Structure 1
Amino acid sequence: MRPALVAALSLALMLPACGKAPETAKPEEAAPARQISWRMSSTYPSTLLILGSMGKRITSEVAAVSGGAINIRFFEPGVLAPPFETFDAVSYGAIEAGWSTSGYWAGKVPALQLFSSVPFGPSAPEYLAWYDYGGGRPLFEKIYHQHNIHGLICGMSPPEASGWFKDEIRTLDDFKGKKIRFFGLGGKVLEEVGASPQLLAGGEIYQALELGTIDGTEYSVPAVDEKMGLQEIAKHYYFPGWHQQSTFFELIINLDAWNGLTTTEQTQIEAACSTNIRYGLSEGEALQAAALKRIADAGVTLHTWPPEVLAGLKTAWEKVAADMAANDPEFAEVWASMTSFRAAYKEWADRGYLKD
């Protein structure tokens, strides 16, 4: 027998004993991500432009960035908790999260108002710069952690209007005796100049102004104010919004719920908030010019505050801030951090930006 044939027959006889060739190992499938379901109570209705839509949007953004693993369900104001009780509901763990702005908690933690909006305060870029790189964030988190809450700046809006009035305001004295719905620290400034500030939830403003329960109100940017229908009642609309040159919005989370997340899950929520900040600012800036035109076409007079009125309001704010800092160490700490940053930043702001 020829050697080649012998070799072939030998190989054929050996193959059955060798069994099947080993199969290529399949890659292991990743374990499915765990599902997290949270309830989020909002202080703004989902239908409210920017203020509410940012809250609604953060739920879809978190779901998208987490691949559907983190589900935050949006609840309208009052369904899970009244707007002004959202802080306590999150703190006690009755719900996992809330959507708001920290100025609503003025009666509980005055210092948190500085993380909402500040009279004669920073523009959006400066506000973010202080928060992210000037010491704001550690203070924000420290304050909230004392109340079993983790806070995240999760949205932003551009400068607000200064207010709607049935009667024209010409001088600082014209504020005296007027009942004005006003938000946050700006309300304390108006109180200093003789007005009677009222803090009403958004859904209460129209009726209060219509019935004469209040003489004037501020609420938000023109596009939002227009949706509220305020142009139907008051015909004098004032600018600039000295009390809110920019506004932070927040996602507040029960601290135990936050600590129960993995680092990846926390990072996903933070990333969604960063995207939401950009959305709030870009949409907010884009919508105002057209809204102003429609408001003016509805017969509203657009006013710019006289310099002497703004100067008087600024003097009143400086007194309010000094008094609050003297009586509240927590407020003093945040205020000192912000003012120190702004003093240093001013050199850049004055030199780096064109003046109209």
Structure 2
Amino acid sequence: MNGLTWFDTQVVQARDLTPTVREFTLQFPQAVTAAAGAHINVQVMVGNLPETRSYSIVDSHPNGHVVIAVKAVDASRGGSQYMRLLKPGTRLRASEPVSLFEPAWNAPEVLLLAGGIGVTPLVSHARALTQRRRPVRMAYLVRNAQEQAYADPLRDLLGEALDIHVADADPAPDLHALISALPPDGQLAMCGPIGLMEAVRSIWAQQGRSRANLRYETFGASGHHPTQAFTVHVPRLGIDVNVGTGQTMLDALNAAGVATLSNCRRGECGLCSVDIIAANGTIDHRDVFYSPAQQAEQRKMCACVSRIAGGSVTIEPAWRGDPDWGRPEILQRTTS
């Protein structure tokens, strides 16, 4: 993201919260202000190349400590693998906190809905809302009893207002009932896998609730189909781009010289959207920018997260193919 302040931080603590989730405490050179739901961007090395990843802030302190948690993901593009190898003393380049996911402080009630590692931004929501004595309850969905990261701190904060659903032991949560219990102007803040988020968005619309009261953040890695390699055809530029299992369409296009604008890289902002001309295979929409109806039209897809489940896709990118665009001296002239 342009305009961010970056810092040289140091890992001062690393500990396992669950078999797949590892928590890191980073020491910033100064105190930084982190609103509830904020995240930081960090620079990671993937295949000896620098890339940027975003991680929600679980907690922050006046002494410059910022706490994040990282989950080991089977379909990782390399970021989580790099992060989980970090040890105390390791230096890490990190941005100032970015606030895009704050709760509504004046809502008559807030429902927090977390799926798996999606709990990380909602811990700070729960803490901030209870400190302000705002009505809040939380449903926390996990695969098994071993994956309940932050369950104890959340119990201390929320007491009986916390409901944990363990998939391999409990009945599936009744999402309709959870949402129906909200007042008409109540707010829902959620973070989790794409299937959960799509189900909630559908129920929210069915109940005629205001879209402004549904807030969400996604980690952009989950889809409806296993991650597979695929090919992107760009006929206007006369090139074909192979997208490996460990990279996104966005990264593959940029590496091939097809400059593609982006911002969130989580399928939320829509800036990296490309036009679909044809698809040979199933389009796995992993974004939350387009509505289910728009996704069903198969006209556009977010290059940062969405993929093809086997086969290829033919696209029309926004980049016009100007060979001068992207040269540093051109950028300096156009941004000065």
Instruction: Give the TM-score normalised by structure 1.
Output: 0.27
Higher RCO, 1 vs 2 (CA within 8 Å, ≥6 residues apart): 1
**Between structures 1 and 2, the one with greater strand share:** 2
**Between structures 1 and 2, the one with greater helix share:** 1
Larger radius of gyration: 1
